[in-house]
Structure 1
Protein backbone atom coordinates (compact mmCIF):
# COMPACT_ATOMS: atom_id res chain seq x y z
CA UNK A 1 0.00 0.00 0.00
CA UNK A 2 2.86 2.39 0.80
CA UNK A 3 4.45 1.73 -2.60
CA UNK A 4 1.12 2.33 -4.34
CA UNK A 5 0.65 5.61 -2.45
CA UNK A 6 4.05 6.99 -3.47
CA UNK A 7 3.55 5.79 -7.04
CA UNK A 8 0.21 7.60 -7.22
CA UNK A 9 1.77 10.71 -5.68
CA UNK A 10 4.64 10.68 -8.20
CA UNK A 11 2.27 10.26 -11.14
CA UNK A 12 0.11 13.12 -9.90
CA UNK A 13 3.08 15.47 -9.46
CA UNK A 14 4.45 14.49 -12.87
CA UNK A 15 1.12 15.10 -14.61
CA UNK A 16 0.48 18.42 -12.90
CA UNK A 17 4.06 19.66 -12.53
CA UNK A 18 3.86 21.85 -15.63
CA UNK A 19 0.93 23.87 -14.31
CA UNK A 20 2.50 25.47 -11.25
CA UNK A 21 4.76 28.32 -10.24
CA UNK A 22 7.68 26.68 -8.53
CA UNK A 23 7.50 26.52 -4.75
CA UNK A 24 10.13 29.23 -4.65
CA UNK A 25 7.99 31.58 -6.75
CA UNK A 26 4.91 31.16 -4.58
CA UNK A 27 6.89 31.57 -1.38
CA UNK A 28 8.47 34.78 -2.69
CA UNK A 29 5.04 36.32 -3.31
CA UNK A 30 3.83 35.21 0.10
CA UNK A 31 6.96 36.53 1.80
CA UNK A 32 6.60 39.94 0.16
CA UNK A 33 2.88 40.16 0.94
CA UNK A 34 3.41 39.35 4.62
CA UNK A 35 5.52 42.48 5.05
CA UNK A 36 2.67 44.71 3.86
CA UNK A 37 -0.34 43.42 5.77
CA UNK A 38 -2.29 45.69 8.09
CA UNK A 39 -2.32 44.78 11.76
CA UNK A 40 -5.94 43.71 11.48
CA UNK A 41 -5.23 41.47 8.49
CA UNK A 42 -2.19 39.97 10.23
CA UNK A 43 -4.23 39.03 13.30
CA UNK A 44 -7.03 37.44 11.26
CA UNK A 45 -4.66 35.53 8.98
CA UNK A 46 -2.48 34.39 11.87
CA UNK A 47 -5.60 32.95 13.50
CA UNK A 48 -6.82 31.17 10.36
CA UNK A 49 -3.39 29.78 9.47
CA UNK A 50 -2.62 28.74 13.07
CA UNK A 51 0.45 30.95 13.13
CA UNK A 52 1.92 29.77 9.82
CA UNK A 53 3.26 32.30 7.34
CA UNK A 54 1.84 33.19 3.92
CA UNK A 55 4.95 31.61 2.38
CA UNK A 56 4.24 28.37 4.24
CA UNK A 57 0.61 28.30 3.04
CA UNK A 58 1.39 29.41 -0.50
CA UNK A 59 2.06 25.91 -1.91
CA UNK A 60 -1.05 24.27 -0.43
CA UNK A 61 -3.08 24.50 -3.66
CA UNK A 62 -0.43 22.50 -5.53
CA UNK A 63 0.04 19.96 -2.77
CA UNK A 64 -3.64 18.95 -2.81
CA UNK A 65 -3.38 18.01 -6.49
CA UNK A 66 -2.13 14.63 -5.31
CA UNK A 67 -5.66 13.99 -3.98
CA UNK A 68 -8.24 13.41 -6.71
CA UNK A 69 -11.02 14.63 -4.49
CA UNK A 70 -9.70 18.14 -5.14
CA UNK A 71 -9.51 17.76 -8.92
CA UNK A 72 -12.37 20.23 -9.44
CA UNK A 73 -9.96 23.02 -8.41
CA UNK A 74 -7.36 22.22 -11.10
CA UNK A 75 -8.78 24.75 -13.58
CA UNK A 76 -8.48 27.53 -11.00
CA UNK A 77 -4.72 27.74 -11.52
CA UNK A 78 -4.80 29.35 -14.96
CA UNK A 79 -6.88 31.01 -17.67
CA UNK A 80 -6.50 30.53 -21.42
CA UNK A 81 -8.08 32.73 -24.08
CA UNK A 82 -7.16 34.39 -27.42
CA UNK A 83 -4.24 36.78 -27.14
CA UNK A 84 -5.92 39.76 -28.81
CA UNK A 85 -8.86 40.20 -26.41
CA UNK A 86 -9.46 40.99 -22.76
CA UNK A 87 -10.61 38.46 -20.20
CA UNK A 88 -13.97 40.21 -19.86
CA UNK A 89 -14.69 39.55 -23.54
CA UNK A 90 -13.50 35.94 -23.60
CA UNK A 91 -15.57 32.77 -23.47
CA UNK A 92 -15.40 31.48 -19.92
CA UNK A 93 -14.57 27.88 -19.07
CA UNK A 94 -17.36 25.89 -17.46
CA UNK A 95 -14.71 24.49 -15.11
CA UNK A 96 -13.68 27.94 -13.88
CA UNK A 97 -10.34 29.70 -14.12
CA UNK A 98 -7.88 31.65 -11.97
CA UNK A 99 -10.01 34.80 -12.00
CA UNK A 100 -13.16 32.94 -10.97
CA UNK A 101 -11.13 31.08 -8.35
CA UNK A 102 -9.83 34.29 -6.79
CA UNK A 103 -13.28 35.87 -6.76
CA UNK A 104 -14.79 32.75 -5.17
CA UNK A 105 -12.12 32.68 -2.47
CA UNK A 106 -12.61 36.35 -1.65
CA UNK A 107 -16.36 35.85 -1.34
CA UNK A 108 -16.14 32.82 0.94
CA UNK A 109 -13.47 34.32 3.21
CA UNK A 110 -15.48 37.55 3.55
CA UNK A 111 -18.82 35.82 4.19
CA UNK A 112 -19.61 35.84 7.93
CA UNK A 113 -21.71 32.70 7.40
CA UNK A 114 -18.78 30.67 6.03
CA UNK A 115 -17.40 28.01 8.35
CA UNK A 116 -13.89 28.37 9.73
CA UNK A 117 -12.87 25.29 7.74
CA UNK A 118 -14.05 26.85 4.48
CA UNK A 119 -12.34 30.14 5.27
CA UNK A 120 -9.03 28.41 6.01
CA UNK A 121 -9.19 26.32 2.82
CA UNK A 122 -10.05 29.27 0.57
CA UNK A 123 -7.48 31.54 2.21
CA UNK A 124 -4.76 29.04 1.37
CA UNK A 125 -6.11 28.75 -2.16
CA UNK A 126 -6.25 32.54 -2.56
CA UNK A 127 -2.64 33.01 -1.48
CA UNK A 128 -1.60 30.57 -4.17
CA UNK A 129 -3.89 31.76 -6.95
CA UNK A 130 -2.81 35.39 -6.79
CA UNK A 131 0.71 34.09 -7.36
CA UNK A 132 -0.41 31.97 -10.31
CA UNK A 133 -2.16 34.97 -11.85
CA UNK A 134 1.20 36.72 -12.27
CA UNK A 135 2.98 33.87 -14.05
CA UNK A 136 2.48 34.94 -17.70
CA UNK A 137 2.04 31.40 -18.97
CA UNK A 138 -0.90 30.95 -16.62
CA UNK A 139 -2.67 33.51 -18.81
CA UNK A 140 -1.59 32.15 -22.17
CA UNK A 141 -3.16 30.28 -25.08
CA UNK A 142 -5.42 27.30 -24.76
CA UNK A 143 -4.23 25.54 -27.92
CA UNK A 144 -0.73 24.98 -26.50
CA UNK A 145 -1.90 24.63 -22.87
CA UNK A 146 -0.19 27.81 -21.72
CA UNK A 147 3.11 26.92 -23.38
CA UNK A 148 3.25 23.34 -22.11
CA UNK A 149 3.32 22.03 -25.69
CA UNK A 150 6.18 24.30 -26.77
CA UNK A 151 9.18 22.01 -26.32
CA UNK A 152 12.57 23.54 -25.52
CA UNK A 153 15.95 22.75 -24.00
CA UNK A 154 17.11 24.35 -20.78
CA UNK A 155 20.86 23.94 -21.07
CA UNK A 156 20.96 20.15 -21.78
CA UNK A 157 17.65 19.28 -20.15
CA UNK A 158 14.34 18.87 -21.94
CA UNK A 159 11.69 21.36 -20.86
CA UNK A 160 8.87 23.49 -22.25
CA UNK A 161 8.00 27.18 -22.26
CA UNK A 162 5.60 26.86 -19.33
CA UNK A 163 8.15 25.08 -17.17
CA UNK A 164 10.86 27.60 -18.04
CA UNK A 165 8.72 30.31 -16.46
CA UNK A 166 7.40 28.15 -13.64
CA UNK A 167 10.71 26.87 -12.38
CA UNK A 168 13.77 26.82 -14.68
CA UNK A 169 14.44 30.56 -14.55
CA UNK A 170 13.84 31.09 -10.84
CA UNK A 171 15.57 27.90 -9.70
CA UNK A 172 18.61 28.67 -11.84
CA UNK A 173 18.94 32.05 -10.16
CA UNK A 174 19.87 30.21 -6.99
CA UNK A 175 18.44 32.42 -4.23
CA UNK A 176 16.20 31.18 -1.43
CA UNK A 177 12.65 32.50 -1.38
CA UNK A 178 13.34 34.79 1.57
CA UNK A 179 16.57 36.14 0.06
CA UNK A 180 14.86 36.92 -3.23
CA UNK A 181 11.69 38.12 -1.51
CA UNK A 182 13.63 40.54 0.70
CA UNK A 183 15.56 41.84 -2.28
CA UNK A 184 12.46 42.42 -4.40
CA UNK A 185 10.46 43.93 -1.54
CA UNK A 186 13.14 46.35 -0.39
CA UNK A 187 13.70 47.70 -3.90
CA UNK A 188 10.13 49.08 -4.11
CA UNK A 189 9.36 52.49 -2.60
CA UNK A 190 5.92 53.68 -1.48
CA UNK A 191 5.11 55.37 -4.80
CA UNK A 192 6.03 52.26 -6.79
CA UNK A 193 4.03 50.07 -4.43
CA UNK A 194 0.88 52.13 -5.01
CA UNK A 195 1.43 51.95 -8.77
CA UNK A 196 1.75 48.16 -8.59
CA UNK A 197 -1.38 47.81 -6.45
CA UNK A 198 -3.50 50.04 -8.69
CA UNK A 199 -6.23 48.58 -10.87
CA UNK A 200 -8.62 45.67 -10.60
CA UNK A 201 -8.31 41.92 -10.83
CA UNK A 202 -9.34 42.19 -14.47
CA UNK A 203 -6.57 44.72 -15.11
CA UNK A 204 -4.05 42.38 -13.53
CA UNK A 205 -5.04 39.36 -15.60
CA UNK A 206 -4.98 41.51 -18.74
CA UNK A 207 -1.46 42.64 -17.85
CA UNK A 208 -0.28 39.03 -17.41
CA UNK A 209 -1.98 38.15 -20.70
CA UNK A 210 -0.01 40.89 -22.44
CA UNK A 211 3.23 39.68 -20.83
CA UNK A 212 2.42 36.23 -22.21
CA UNK A 213 2.60 37.70 -25.74
CA UNK A 214 6.18 38.80 -24.98
CA UNK A 215 7.08 35.40 -23.53
CA UNK A 216 5.70 33.52 -26.53
CA UNK A 217 7.80 35.69 -28.84
CA UNK A 218 10.94 35.05 -26.78
CA UNK A 219 11.59 31.51 -28.05
CA UNK A 220 11.41 29.22 -31.05
CA UNK A 221 10.28 25.60 -30.75
CA UNK A 222 13.22 23.33 -29.97
CA UNK A 223 15.52 26.21 -29.01
CA UNK A 224 18.26 25.57 -26.46
CA UNK A 225 18.10 28.24 -23.76
CA UNK A 226 21.12 29.17 -21.67
CA UNK A 227 22.41 32.00 -19.48
CA UNK A 228 21.55 34.63 -22.07
CA UNK A 229 17.82 33.92 -21.73
CA UNK A 230 17.95 34.40 -17.99
CA UNK A 231 19.99 37.58 -18.37
CA UNK A 232 17.35 38.97 -20.70
CA UNK A 233 14.16 37.83 -18.94
CA UNK A 234 14.93 37.62 -15.22
CA UNK A 235 13.89 41.28 -14.95
CA UNK A 236 10.37 40.41 -16.15
CA UNK A 237 10.28 37.38 -13.85
CA UNK A 238 11.21 39.50 -10.83
CA UNK A 239 8.68 42.19 -11.73
CA UNK A 240 5.91 39.60 -11.84
CA UNK A 241 6.93 38.18 -8.47
CA UNK A 242 6.94 41.70 -7.00
CA UNK A 243 3.50 42.42 -8.39
CA UNK A 244 2.13 39.15 -7.10
CA UNK A 245 3.39 39.90 -3.60
CA UNK A 246 2.22 43.49 -3.30
CA UNK A 247 -1.13 42.75 -4.90
CA UNK A 248 -1.70 39.76 -2.65
CA UNK A 249 -1.20 42.10 0.32
CA UNK A 250 -3.76 44.49 -1.14
CA UNK A 251 -6.34 41.74 -1.65
CA UNK A 252 -5.88 40.36 1.87
CA UNK A 253 -5.98 43.80 3.50
CA UNK A 254 -9.24 44.57 1.71
CA UNK A 255 -10.80 41.27 2.78
CA UNK A 256 -9.91 41.73 6.44
CA UNK A 257 -10.42 45.51 6.66
Structure 2
Protein backbone atom coordinates (compact mmCIF):
# COMPACT_ATOMS: atom_id res chain seq x y z
CA UNK A 1 0.00 0.00 0.00
CA UNK A 2 2.84 2.33 0.88
CA UNK A 3 4.65 1.60 -2.38
CA UNK A 4 1.43 2.21 -4.32
CA UNK A 5 1.03 5.62 -2.62
CA UNK A 6 4.60 6.62 -3.47
CA UNK A 7 4.13 5.55 -7.10
CA UNK A 8 0.97 7.64 -7.41
CA UNK A 9 2.72 10.68 -5.89
CA UNK A 10 5.63 10.30 -8.29
CA UNK A 11 3.25 10.06 -11.25
CA UNK A 12 1.43 13.21 -10.11
CA UNK A 13 4.70 15.13 -9.92
CA UNK A 14 5.58 14.12 -13.46
CA UNK A 15 2.31 15.67 -14.64
CA UNK A 16 2.35 18.84 -12.53
CA UNK A 17 6.01 19.85 -12.84
CA UNK A 18 6.12 20.57 -16.60
CA UNK A 19 2.79 22.35 -16.34
CA UNK A 20 4.13 24.72 -13.69
CA UNK A 21 7.31 25.26 -15.67
CA UNK A 22 5.29 26.67 -18.57
CA UNK A 23 3.37 29.21 -16.49
CA UNK A 24 4.32 32.75 -17.53
CA UNK A 25 4.77 35.30 -14.72
CA UNK A 26 2.62 38.40 -14.73
CA UNK A 27 4.13 41.45 -16.49
CA UNK A 28 6.10 43.83 -14.30
CA UNK A 29 9.41 45.64 -13.90
CA UNK A 30 11.32 42.99 -11.99
CA UNK A 31 11.83 43.64 -8.27
CA UNK A 32 15.30 45.06 -9.00
CA UNK A 33 13.98 47.71 -11.39
CA UNK A 34 11.22 48.80 -9.02
CA UNK A 35 13.62 49.05 -6.09
CA UNK A 36 16.03 51.19 -8.10
CA UNK A 37 13.16 53.57 -8.93
CA UNK A 38 12.32 53.83 -5.23
CA UNK A 39 15.93 54.30 -4.17
CA UNK A 40 16.55 57.03 -6.74
CA UNK A 41 13.31 58.80 -5.83
CA UNK A 42 14.38 58.90 -2.20
CA UNK A 43 17.39 61.02 -3.22
CA UNK A 44 15.11 63.73 -4.65
CA UNK A 45 12.55 64.01 -1.85
CA UNK A 46 12.24 67.13 0.28
CA UNK A 47 12.72 66.70 4.02
CA UNK A 48 9.05 67.38 4.75
CA UNK A 49 8.03 64.82 2.13
CA UNK A 50 10.31 62.20 3.63
CA UNK A 51 8.86 62.74 7.09
CA UNK A 52 5.27 62.46 5.85
CA UNK A 53 6.04 59.28 3.92
CA UNK A 54 7.95 57.69 6.80
CA UNK A 55 4.93 58.26 9.02
CA UNK A 56 2.55 56.59 6.54
CA UNK A 57 4.88 53.68 5.77
CA UNK A 58 6.05 53.05 9.35
CA UNK A 59 9.56 54.04 8.29
CA UNK A 60 9.71 51.51 5.46
CA UNK A 61 11.66 52.81 2.47
CA UNK A 62 10.30 53.54 -0.99
CA UNK A 63 12.49 50.75 -2.33
CA UNK A 64 11.09 48.28 0.20
CA UNK A 65 7.43 48.94 -0.68
CA UNK A 66 8.02 49.43 -4.42
CA UNK A 67 7.14 45.81 -5.22
CA UNK A 68 3.90 45.85 -3.23
CA UNK A 69 1.77 46.27 -6.36
CA UNK A 70 2.98 42.91 -7.64
CA UNK A 71 2.95 41.16 -4.28
CA UNK A 72 -0.84 41.62 -3.94
CA UNK A 73 -1.64 40.21 -7.38
CA UNK A 74 -2.23 36.72 -5.98
CA UNK A 75 -4.87 38.05 -3.57
CA UNK A 76 -8.35 38.04 -5.14
CA UNK A 77 -9.31 41.08 -3.08
CA UNK A 78 -6.96 43.20 -5.20
CA UNK A 79 -7.69 41.70 -8.61
CA UNK A 80 -9.41 44.91 -9.71
CA UNK A 81 -6.05 46.71 -9.66
CA UNK A 82 -4.51 44.34 -12.24
CA UNK A 83 -5.03 46.67 -15.19
CA UNK A 84 -3.38 49.57 -13.38
CA UNK A 85 0.08 48.21 -14.21
CA UNK A 86 0.08 49.08 -17.92
CA UNK A 87 -1.37 51.00 -20.85
CA UNK A 88 -1.64 49.18 -24.18
CA UNK A 89 -2.18 51.23 -27.33
CA UNK A 90 -1.83 50.98 -31.06
CA UNK A 91 1.48 51.91 -32.67
CA UNK A 92 2.27 55.62 -32.77
CA UNK A 93 -0.95 56.47 -30.96
CA UNK A 94 -1.15 58.91 -28.08
CA UNK A 95 -2.87 57.98 -24.83
CA UNK A 96 -5.40 60.74 -25.37
CA UNK A 97 -6.48 59.20 -28.70
CA UNK A 98 -6.33 55.57 -27.59
CA UNK A 99 -9.22 53.27 -26.77
CA UNK A 100 -9.46 53.20 -22.98
CA UNK A 101 -9.67 50.01 -20.96
CA UNK A 102 -13.04 50.05 -19.15
CA UNK A 103 -11.32 48.40 -16.17
CA UNK A 104 -8.80 51.24 -15.93
CA UNK A 105 -5.12 51.52 -16.77
CA UNK A 106 -1.87 52.89 -15.37
CA UNK A 107 -2.85 56.51 -15.98
CA UNK A 108 -6.24 56.07 -14.32
CA UNK A 109 -4.63 54.18 -11.45
CA UNK A 110 -1.84 56.67 -10.83
CA UNK A 111 -4.21 59.63 -10.92
CA UNK A 112 -6.59 57.92 -8.50
CA UNK A 113 -3.71 57.22 -6.11
CA UNK A 114 -2.72 60.89 -6.22
CA UNK A 115 -6.31 61.95 -5.50
CA UNK A 116 -6.49 59.73 -2.40
CA UNK A 117 -3.16 61.02 -1.11
CA UNK A 118 -4.36 64.61 -1.50
CA UNK A 119 -7.71 63.91 0.15
CA UNK A 120 -7.71 65.35 3.68
CA UNK A 121 -10.55 63.01 4.63
CA UNK A 122 -8.78 59.81 3.56
CA UNK A 123 -7.57 57.55 6.36
CA UNK A 124 -3.87 56.93 6.92
CA UNK A 125 -4.41 53.26 6.05
CA UNK A 126 -5.91 54.19 2.68
CA UNK A 127 -3.16 56.69 2.03
CA UNK A 128 -0.48 54.12 2.85
CA UNK A 129 -2.08 51.58 0.50
CA UNK A 130 -2.40 53.97 -2.44
CA UNK A 131 1.04 55.41 -1.81
CA UNK A 132 2.51 51.93 -2.24
CA UNK A 133 0.50 51.47 -5.43
CA UNK A 134 1.59 54.86 -6.79
CA UNK A 135 5.26 54.07 -6.20
CA UNK A 136 4.80 50.84 -8.12
CA UNK A 137 2.74 52.26 -10.99
CA UNK A 138 5.15 55.11 -11.71
CA UNK A 139 7.89 52.50 -11.99
CA UNK A 140 5.75 50.42 -14.33
CA UNK A 141 4.90 53.21 -16.77
CA UNK A 142 8.61 53.73 -17.43
CA UNK A 143 9.11 50.13 -18.54
CA UNK A 144 8.64 50.47 -22.33
CA UNK A 145 6.58 47.31 -22.73
CA UNK A 146 4.08 48.59 -20.16
CA UNK A 147 3.13 51.17 -22.78
CA UNK A 148 3.40 48.74 -25.68
CA UNK A 149 0.95 47.42 -28.23
CA UNK A 150 -2.42 45.98 -27.35
CA UNK A 151 -2.11 43.40 -30.14
CA UNK A 152 0.78 41.54 -28.48
CA UNK A 153 -0.05 42.41 -24.86
CA UNK A 154 2.93 44.70 -24.49
CA UNK A 155 5.42 42.21 -25.93
CA UNK A 156 4.20 39.25 -23.89
CA UNK A 157 3.19 37.41 -27.09
CA UNK A 158 6.52 38.02 -28.81
CA UNK A 159 8.41 34.83 -27.94
CA UNK A 160 12.19 35.13 -28.20
CA UNK A 161 15.27 33.70 -26.51
CA UNK A 162 17.53 35.46 -24.06
CA UNK A 163 21.03 34.02 -23.85
CA UNK A 164 19.59 30.87 -25.46
CA UNK A 165 16.69 30.46 -23.01
CA UNK A 166 13.02 30.88 -23.92
CA UNK A 167 11.40 34.13 -22.79
CA UNK A 168 9.45 37.00 -24.37
CA UNK A 169 10.14 40.61 -25.23
CA UNK A 170 8.19 41.90 -22.23
CA UNK A 171 10.12 39.79 -19.78
CA UNK A 172 13.46 40.83 -21.28
CA UNK A 173 12.66 44.45 -20.44
CA UNK A 174 11.10 43.54 -17.10
CA UNK A 175 13.95 41.58 -15.63
CA UNK A 176 16.13 39.46 -17.96
CA UNK A 177 18.32 42.33 -19.13
CA UNK A 178 18.51 44.09 -15.74
CA UNK A 179 19.21 40.91 -13.78
CA UNK A 180 21.81 39.85 -16.34
CA UNK A 181 23.77 42.99 -15.47
CA UNK A 182 24.28 41.37 -12.04
CA UNK A 183 24.17 44.49 -9.86
CA UNK A 184 22.06 45.03 -6.76
CA UNK A 185 19.40 47.72 -6.75
CA UNK A 186 21.55 49.88 -4.47
CA UNK A 187 24.52 49.55 -6.84
CA UNK A 188 22.37 50.46 -9.83
CA UNK A 189 20.90 53.46 -8.01
CA UNK A 190 24.26 54.77 -6.83
CA UNK A 191 25.62 54.47 -10.37
CA UNK A 192 22.79 56.38 -12.03
CA UNK A 193 23.89 59.00 -14.55
CA UNK A 194 25.02 62.38 -13.23
CA UNK A 195 22.50 64.99 -14.37
CA UNK A 196 22.54 68.78 -14.45
CA UNK A 197 19.80 70.84 -12.81
CA UNK A 198 18.46 71.65 -16.27
CA UNK A 199 18.31 67.95 -17.20
CA UNK A 200 16.49 67.12 -13.97
CA UNK A 201 13.94 69.90 -14.53
CA UNK A 202 13.35 68.63 -18.06
CA UNK A 203 12.73 65.09 -16.77
CA UNK A 204 10.40 66.34 -14.01
CA UNK A 205 8.26 68.31 -16.45
CA UNK A 206 4.95 67.07 -17.79
CA UNK A 207 2.06 64.98 -16.56
CA UNK A 208 1.56 61.26 -15.98
CA UNK A 209 -0.07 61.11 -19.42
CA UNK A 210 2.93 62.85 -21.00
CA UNK A 211 5.26 60.28 -19.42
CA UNK A 212 3.17 57.39 -20.75
CA UNK A 213 3.22 58.90 -24.25
CA UNK A 214 6.99 59.26 -24.04
CA UNK A 215 7.36 55.62 -22.98
CA UNK A 216 5.04 54.50 -25.79
CA UNK A 217 7.22 56.31 -28.34
CA UNK A 218 10.21 54.43 -26.95
CA UNK A 219 8.29 51.15 -27.16
CA UNK A 220 7.57 51.74 -30.85
CA UNK A 221 11.31 51.99 -31.53
CA UNK A 222 12.05 48.83 -29.51
CA UNK A 223 9.53 46.80 -31.51
CA UNK A 224 11.37 47.59 -34.75
CA UNK A 225 14.54 45.82 -33.57
CA UNK A 226 12.98 42.50 -32.55
CA UNK A 227 10.93 39.78 -34.22
CA UNK A 228 9.49 36.53 -32.91
CA UNK A 229 12.12 33.81 -32.62
CA UNK A 230 15.14 36.12 -32.26
CA UNK A 231 17.94 34.92 -30.00
CA UNK A 232 18.93 38.03 -28.05
CA UNK A 233 21.90 38.41 -25.78
CA UNK A 234 25.04 40.44 -25.18
CA UNK A 235 24.71 42.67 -28.26
CA UNK A 236 21.10 43.50 -27.43
CA UNK A 237 22.04 44.29 -23.84
CA UNK A 238 24.93 46.47 -25.03
CA UNK A 239 22.55 48.48 -27.23
CA UNK A 240 19.63 48.70 -24.80
CA UNK A 241 20.72 48.46 -21.18
CA UNK A 242 21.50 52.17 -21.07
CA UNK A 243 17.92 52.84 -22.23
CA UNK A 244 16.51 50.68 -19.43
CA UNK A 245 18.73 52.40 -16.85
CA UNK A 246 17.68 55.82 -18.14
CA UNK A 247 14.00 54.90 -17.90
CA UNK A 248 14.46 53.69 -14.34
CA UNK A 249 16.23 56.93 -13.42
CA UNK A 250 13.46 59.01 -15.01
CA UNK A 251 10.91 56.98 -13.07
CA UNK A 252 12.67 57.74 -9.80
CA UNK A 253 13.00 61.46 -10.48
CA UNK A 254 9.39 61.78 -11.59
CA UNK A 255 8.09 59.77 -8.66
CA UNK A 256 9.91 62.15 -6.32
CA UNK A 257 8.41 65.15 -8.09
CA UNK A 258 4.91 63.72 -7.68
CA UNK A 259 5.44 62.96 -4.01
CA UNK A 260 6.92 66.40 -3.32
CA UNK A 261 3.86 67.96 -5.01
CA UNK A 262 1.47 65.79 -2.96
CA UNK A 263 3.08 66.23 0.44
C-alpha contact 1:27 1:55 (8 A) present in aligned 2: yes
SS in 2 for 1:19: coil
What is residue 65 of structure 1 aligned with on the other side? 73
- Does residue 54 (structure 1) correspond to residue 59 (structure 2)? The answer is no
Match of residue 199, structure 2, among 192, 204, 224: 192
Q: CA separation in 1, counterparts of 2:223 and 2:138? A: 22
Q: Count how many residue pairs are aligned between Structure 1 and Structure 2.
A: 244
SS in 1 for 2:96: helix
C-alpha contact 2:157 2:168 (8 A) present in aligned 1: yes
- Does residue 30 (structure 1) correspond to residue 45 (structure 2)? The answer is no
What is residue 221 of structure 2 aligned with on the other side? 214
- Does residue 245 (structure 1) correspond to residue 252 (structure 2)? The answer is yes
Deviations 1:111-168 (A, max 9, x none): 0111111101000000000000000100011111100000000012100000000001
- Does residue 41 (structure 1) correspond to residue 49 (structure 2)? The answer is yes
CA RMSD of aligned residues (A): 1.4
What is residue 132 of structure 1 aligned with on the other side? 140
Larger Rg: 2
Unaligned runs of 5+ in 2: 1-15
Q: CA separation in 2, counterparts of 1:174 and 1:155? A: 14
- Cα shift at 1:30: 0.3
**TM-score where L is the length of structure 2:** 0.90
Deviations 1:90-123 (A, max 9, x none): 1211100000000000000110111111101000
Q: CA separation in 2, counterparts of 1:222 and 1:82? A: 22
1:105-254 aligned within 5 A? 105-184=113-192, 187-254=194-261
C-alpha contact 1:18 1:148 (8 A) present in aligned 2: no
- Cα shift at 1:69: 1.3
C-alpha contact 1:24 1:170 (8 A) present in aligned 2: yes
Unaligned runs of 5+ in 1: 1-6
- Cα shift at 1:84: 2.2
- Cα shift at 1:75: 0.2
